[in-house]
Structure 1
Amino acid sequence: MIELNTNVLGTFALKNGRIIKRIQLPRDPRRLAEKLIEAEKAPCDEELQLISYLRETGIKSVKVRDPERFSGYKLGIELVEDKRPTDPLRIASDLGISDNEFTELLFKTNLEITRIKLREIDRDQIIIQAIASLDELEESINRLMKRLREWYSLNFPELDLLVKKHELYAKIVSSDLQNLDPGLLEKINRAREETLGIEFSERDRDAVESLSKSILQIYDTKERIEKYIEKTMPEIAPNISALAGPVLGARLIALAGGLERLSTLPASTIQVLGAEDAFFKFLKTGKRPPKHGVIFQLPEIRSAPKDKRGKISRAFAAKLAIAARMDRFRGEFGGDKLREDFLKKVESLK
């Protein structure tokens, strides 16, 4: 049977280890590394060209490394897993390439492959840092808002009851009343006339307004980082991003310690990521284990009846495990299909 073999020397059609047809790959180690990384997850153009050539010559079946790489391609030829591919050194010998030449090219190419993959890991770590920053900004906002509400309530305690949203409260304190709901503005003005708070001097008011403006700047920074995550996540983990949403997907990667680790976790572990305290309490006391961790942020889980949340969480975690493996090994994009299947499962549980 004909063998399709791609290595640093090129893409080959071989019969009994002998070259029938060869397509040269780039000789530059950097470009060659990019081509070989491409061929790890899907067939490269050279492989598709050779398969087309073999089909036209009447070949019905071909041995290939990892036939799964070719899924989704209409090739018109049967692919059989090649469990014993031809040694590239033998191919090099047939081409008149010395062992030293081959070893040098292999070393340089593998070095470039390592560099490229390390950069991918760095991107993974960047998104983890972005999520950590987002969490710290949220904590800062909550702490400072507590202080702002206590401070401004000395002057206008009624506002604390009228406005529950932190960002809106900070805008009102900073004297930013643009786009404020007319009905709420009327309530605020009426409450201000009858307030039980103490009078603030101009210096007091300047100080509290300064704090509120600083909080609004943190909100702006938080929004910028969220937008950064929303744009970056589809590049790093497109399937996870499509299934879970960019921010929740990034949070799951961070909780797992990276995309590679997330791709190795079983669905049962993914389901309770972020609920470690509750899980340890279950182990210690024997009380009911948590049904979900941070994935509770998903609207389909959060809005579901309590008796359905466990099943929906399990269904989502199972899909997430698949998405993580697809992203880790740079497989074909299937995030939209995973999302669609998950939503169908949610509907069936209603």
Structure 2
Amino acid sequence: MQIFPKEIILNGKNYEIDKLLNNEFLDEIQNEVLEFLKNWYDEKDYLVVHTSGSTGTPKEIKLEKSFIAKSAKRTLKFFNLQKFDKVLLCLSLDYIAGKLMVVRALIGGLNLCVAKPNSDFAFLKYEKESFKFVAMVPNQVYKLLDTPSNFSKIDTLLLGGQALSSSLKDELLKVKTKCYIGYGMTETATHIALKRVNLKDANENYKVLEGIKIWLENGCLAIKMPGLEKPLITNDLANIINENEFEILGRADNIIISGGLKFIPEVIEKKLESYIDKPFFISSKIDEKLGHKIVLVIETKKDESYKKQIQKVFEEHLSRYERPKEIYFKDEFKRTKTGKIIRKL
């Protein structure tokens, strides 16, 4: 497979790259694709990309184009994507996930259809089309569920951007589309591992893609992969099942030490997510006796009766020391552009 092929199939039309780079579309999103192609085909051997900022200030990093291409090839191989297969780009090209959709189409000779990456995305533009492969963030999938028949138009759906709620997983069990979630980050040029999320016997383990090595460093996932000069030590607390499988427990920088005990917020959240029907997260506040006390922050207007319901959930499903000492109500959480909740009180 060539990293810089001479042609691309865009919305069903075959374009010569040389001619396309001197062209301009009237369609806004196609112009964004064109701008990306100009960057991909320029003289530099790297792309400048930006992290999402979900765990801190967004940062600018450089990724070698050959490294990005290897990521695209792994995805093409895993999902058995073949030349002329129709795929849909409905993610922002500001971030690596959107860029990789274009690179996969280029390298694999795929038919790349494009649509605006709105959170209220629907198949209005392509209502008569079907797709072999589509990547979305959960907010888009929720919208898709408003018209479940849309799933019949998608063979494989890749989700990313944030963890899936138990309610979304339950809804996806009802569709025939093969649904996967990826584990990865900007530094790895998207996913290095995948798991199927809509099988009734699906577990919580990610399976690494070909050529990826994993282990733990101080409880956090470490990754070695072709193209990285040195291993990447993540901030994700993990459990290694075997050399090819792992599960993510939470982030090291979210750990709460309360009363001398260590708590992983994401582990507590997992125990609660089936019983709380609003977006929420576990955090902490400074406390004279405990050092830090565990608190729950929920996205809804303050409601004393609802508060009592949640406290009852704490009693029934959490151990004594895991139970949040306070509940904070917020009308609206701050989120990144990719939809991740910014976990701040």
Higher relative contact order (CA 8 A, sep 6+): 1
Q: Same fold (TM over 0.5)?
A: no
Larger Rg: 1
Query: If each structure's strand is expressed as a fraction of its own residues, which one has the higher value?
Result: 2
**Structure 2 length-normalised TM:** 0.27
**Structure 1 length-normalised TM:** 0.27
